[in-house]
Structures are given as structure tokens and as C-alpha cells.
Amino acid sequence: MTPTHLLWIFAGAAGLIVLVSMMMILWRAVSTRNDARRAVLADMIFVTVIAGFLVYCLFQRSSIVYDAVLIAGLGGALSTIAYARIITRGRR
């Protein structure tokens, strides 16, 4: 077994874990009625999308994909602030 085969196996396992976790988060987001939980679950969905993109980028031969992930991570903080405003209904 070559290192490339091991990479494919581990990347497939990681992709499967990310997919299952995203499905569980989406199910919980649809089934809950609490706004605070939905805000937290939306952040979790964002993080799992970034994780799925990282698994996809394991096989891309470009260095720009990691910069895109870093920029997306910085944008995640802005979405957290926006969700906090939604939970507090705009009160400061």
C-alpha cells in the first residue's frame, strides 16, 4: 500500500465524518424551535463546510485554497457577531 492510497483512505474517512456530522447538524437545526440553538447550529454548519472544503482541497495542486480557508475562517467571526445580534434581537 502506497502513501497515496493511505491518503485516499484517510481523506475518504474524514469526508464521511464531515458529511455525517453536517447531516446531524442540519437535522437538529430543522427540528429545533429555539433561536439561540439555530444560531449556534448555523455556525457549526459553516465550520463543517470549511472542513469539507479542506478535505476536498487535499487533492488540489494549488496553494490558494488554503488562503481561501483562512479568509473564510476570518469571516466566521463576523457571522458569529451577526448571530449574536439576531439572538438579542438587535439590543446592545
Per-residue model confidence as pLDDT tens digits over 35-77 = 778 878 888 888 899 888 888 888 777 778 888 888 888 887 7
pLDDT over 70 (residue 82): yes
Number of alpha helices (DSSP H) and beta strands (DSSP E) in the chain:
3, 0
pLDDT over 90 (residue 84): no
Cell of 5: 492510497
Angle value at C-alpha 35, between 85 and 30, nearest 5 degrees? 135
Cell of 41: 447550529
Angle value at C-alpha 68, between 65 and 20, nearest 5 degrees? 80
Name the strand (E) or helix (H) holding 28. Answer: helix 3-31
Of 27-36, 48-57, 82-91, the poorest mean pLDDT is in 82-91
Model pTM greater than 0.85?
A: no
